[in-house]
Chains A and B, each alone.
Chain A
Amino acid sequence: MSCSEDHTESVDCTVKPPVFLQIGDTKGDSARSGVCVVDVTLPYGKPINIEKITFKNYYTAYVTVRLLRRKAEKEGSTKWCTALTDLALMDNPHTDGGSQNYFSIHRRQMQVQPDHVESIRLILRQPSSAWRIFSLEDIRLFPHKELAPEKEVSDWLSDLIVVKQPPDLEGLPDPQTVSSSIQQMWALTEVMQANRTTASIGRFDVDGCYDINLLSLT
């Protein structure tokens, strides 16, 4: 299940119990409409940018994802928008193909950018009368991580490309010869460092005078 490529942790979120929509005001043994809403809320004050949503299906045929997004970073109003409409989880609502599969919805699949999201509403639909109980299990949200900046290997590589000629070398020693000498000196220092030894002469080793048995003999 958690085979995410970058091994990110899912964020803490609260999955509310599913609410089955009903027609009319009847209680008890009412006709199921085949529509169910699951709300997933994030802790207050901690909107996230969603990388992906993963869940395990339980006989849901279609799912619609709606997001409550905050306009700007901190201030601004929140607005609901639809990220995904009627994503088919089962090939045929009456048969059980895909009924217990694991799914993952990536941000690339969504119609809007899932950034600064505070709450998610999953609308589950199961039109078939064969499956009266349906839901999604183990819903997890994974935050979007910014790609780490490229290592600065290229910085010094680009330095090697001469962009401009140093204008005035009057009275200065020839950089080629100076550079060659410095390179030799650097190489000699590296040779010395590479040949360090871990051996020691044991100057500070004690010869067992601090054995606990001897100390206790006072």
Chain B
Amino acid sequence: MADKEKRRSAAVPSGMSAGKATKSDSDVEFLSQAGVGELLRGAILKMVEARSDDPIGFLADHFCNLASVTDSSPAGCGDEEQMNGGPVSACAQEQQHLNRALWHLRLAHHSQRSAFSNNVRVAYDLLNISACQRGGVRGGLYTQTLQCLCSEGGVPASTSAPLLRRLHCQDHEVVPYDVFRHGVLTCAVFSDYIRQSQKLYAEVCCPHEGPASRALCMAVLGTLKEALETSTGCEPDSIRYLEASAKISPNRLAQAMEGAQSRGPGGNMDAKEFENAAADLFITRVKVVF
């Protein structure tokens, strides 16, 4: 933050050095000149949209982000960028765009449909700038975005690797908006899914007995698999949902778990294996990007 503060002091608003004498009048003038009203309004709107749990942290991030926006514009170019020249500054700029895009993507949860879509759009436009007239986001940048999303969501790299293999794009490829949105949404949903599966493992294994029994884990994941495989056929979606949810009702689960106890395979299943098995159920249903 120190270097940013240094730059801030350089770009002083012009009206500041003059008239400190007439304080009360110039207060209002100063505020309107600096555009503080707009700044605060924008900040509050963003906060309402994001509904973050930590308002102060959110506002701090927001203003920090804004500062980096104004810094990277041509007028506020720092000395380092001018000295090093073309390729390095482009790379650094790209990283900056990536960070800002990720910040936007973190604002809203994927369940807040419209807010999330807006943020994805903003992030895409940000990343699109750095791709210089290609009509889309550079494949490498897109893949990096997905990797960051997964790791920030708490998914270990080994678990997200198969997912990324399905979604990634090569560096020379150009990613259109729809594919970008699909990839980002899938990663966001996947992070939630993995968190949920970790919670499930904690529920399934009895804490005083160590790792959960293999039979129990397989039975529980088996019911999920069955529900996911409910045939689509020509039924309307509502019937398919009802049928699938009947397969994961508490009664069915109780029956499955009880059956597993008596006649399932022996041994234990550790958390990692359970997580991978659950992830596999999700990843096989992800459409490969081509």
What is A's interface to B at a CB cutoff of 8 Å? 153, 156-157, 159-160, 162, 166-169, 171-179, 181-186, 188-193, 195-201, 203-204
Tell me which of B169, B193, B254 has the highest count of chain A C-beta atoms within 10 A of its own C-beta. B254
Q: Is B185's CB under 8 angstroms from A195's CB? A: yes
A183 — which chain B residues lie within 8 A by C-beta? 245, 248
Query: Which residue on chain B has the smallest CB distance to residue A159?
Result: B246
Query: Which residue on chain B has the smallest CB distance to residue A179?
Result: B250
Report Cα–Cα, A169/B248, bound state, in Å.
17
Report Cα–Cα, A123/B186, bound state, in Å.
74
Query: Which residue on chain A has the smallest CB distance to residue B183?
Result: A197
Q: List 25 A-B contacts (CB under 8 A).
A: A153-B239, A157-B246, A159-B246, A160-B251, A162-B251, A166-B254, A173-B216, A175-B250, A177-B203, A178-B220, A179-B249, A179-B253, A181-B199, A182-B227, A182-B253, A183-B245, A185-B196, A189-B193, A189-B285, A191-B110, A192-B190, A192-B285, A196-B287, A197-B181, A199-B177
What is B's interface to A at a CB cutoff of 8 Å? 110, 139, 169-170, 173-179, 181-182, 185-186, 189-190, 192-193, 196-197, 199-200, 203-204, 206, 216, 220, 223-224, 227-228, 239, 241-255, 257-258, 261, 278, 281-282, 285-287, 289-290
Report Cα–Cα, A177/B196, bound state, in Å.
12
Q: Is A182's CB under 8 angstroms from B258's CB? A: no
Query: Which residue on chain A has the smallest CB distance to residue B244?
Result: A186
Instruction: State whether A200 and B203 are in contact (beta carbons under 8 Å apart), knowing that A160-B249, A188-B189, A189-B193 are contacts in the complex.
Output: no
Q: Is B286's CB under 8 angstroms from A192's CB? A: yes
Query: Which residue on chain A has the smallest CB distance to residue B255?
Result: A166
Q: Is B257's CB under 8 angstroms from A201's CB? A: no
B203 — which chain A residues lie within 8 A by C-beta? 173-174, 177-178, 181
A166 — which chain B residues lie within 8 A by C-beta? 251, 254-255, 258
Tell me which of A182, A188, A201 has the highest count of chain B C-beta atoms within 10 A of its own C-beta. A182
Instruction: State whether A156 and B243 are in contact (beta carbons under 8 Å apart), knowing that A199-B179, A201-B169 are contacts in the complex.
Output: yes
Given contacts A168-B258, A192-B285, A201-B289, 20 further A-B contacts (CB under 8 A): A166-B251, A167-B258, A175-B250, A175-B251, A175-B254, A178-B253, A179-B249, A181-B196, A182-B220, A182-B223, A182-B248, A184-B196, A185-B282, A186-B245, A186-B248, A197-B287, A198-B178, A201-B173, A201-B174, A203-B170
A178 — which chain B residues lie within 8 A by C-beta? 200, 203-204, 220, 250, 253, 257
Tell me which of B170, B174, B200 has the highest count of chain A C-beta atoms within 10 A of its own C-beta. B200
Instruction: State whether A200 and B248 are in contact (beta carbons under 8 Å apart), knowing that A182-B200, A192-B190 are contacts in the complex.
Output: no
Q: Is A176's CB under 8 angstroms from B239's CB? A: no
A174 — which chain B residues lie within 8 A by C-beta? 203
Query: Which residue on chain B has the smallest CB distance to residue A195?
Result: B185
Q: Is A159's CB under 8 angstroms from B224's CB? A: no
A162 — which chain B residues lie within 8 A by C-beta? 251
Query: Which residue on chain B has the smallest CB distance to residue A191?
Result: B189
Q: How far is the CB of A88 from chain B (nearest CB, A)?
A: 46
Report Cα–Cα, A193/B110, bound state, in Å.
14
Instruction: State whether A185 and B197 are in contact (beta carbons under 8 Å apart), knowing that A168-B258, A172-B257, A196-B287 are contacts in the complex.
Output: yes
Report Cα–Cα, A157/B246, bound state, in Å.
8
B185 — which chain A residues lie within 8 A by C-beta? 192, 195
Report Cα–Cα, A201/B288, bound state, in Å.
11
Report Cα–Cα, A192/B227, bound state, in Å.
15
Q: How far is the CB of A197 from chain B (nearest CB, A)?
A: 4
Q: How far is the CB of B111 from chain A (nearest CB, A)?
A: 8
Instruction: State whether A195 and B182 are in contact (beta carbons under 8 Å apart), knowing that A179-B249, A188-B196 are contacts in the complex.
Output: yes
Report Cα–Cα, A197/B182, bound state, in Å.
6
Instruction: State whether A189 and B248 are in contact (beta carbons under 8 Å apart), knowing that A169-B258, A197-B182, A199-B176 are contacts in the complex.
Output: no
Report Cα–Cα, A176/B169, bound state, in Å.
41
Report Cα–Cα, A162/B242, bound state, in Å.
16
Q: Is B239's CB under 8 angstroms from A185's CB? A: no
Q: Is A171's CB under 8 angstroms from B197's CB? A: no
Q: Is B247's CB under 8 angstroms from A156's CB? A: yes
Report Cα–Cα, A178/B193, bound state, in Å.
14
B224 — which chain A residues lie within 8 A by C-beta? 182, 185-186
A167 — which chain B residues lie within 8 A by C-beta? 258
Report Cα–Cα, A156/B258, bound state, in Å.
20
Instruction: State whether A199 and B178 are in contact (beta carbons under 8 Å apart), knowing that A183-B248, A184-B196 are contacts in the complex.
Output: yes
Tell me which of A166, A177, A193, A201 has the highest count of chain B C-beta atoms within 10 A of its own C-beta. A201
Which residue from B110, B176, B186, B239 sits with its C-beta under 8 Å from A201? B176
Q: Is B186's CB under 8 angstroms from A192's CB? A: yes
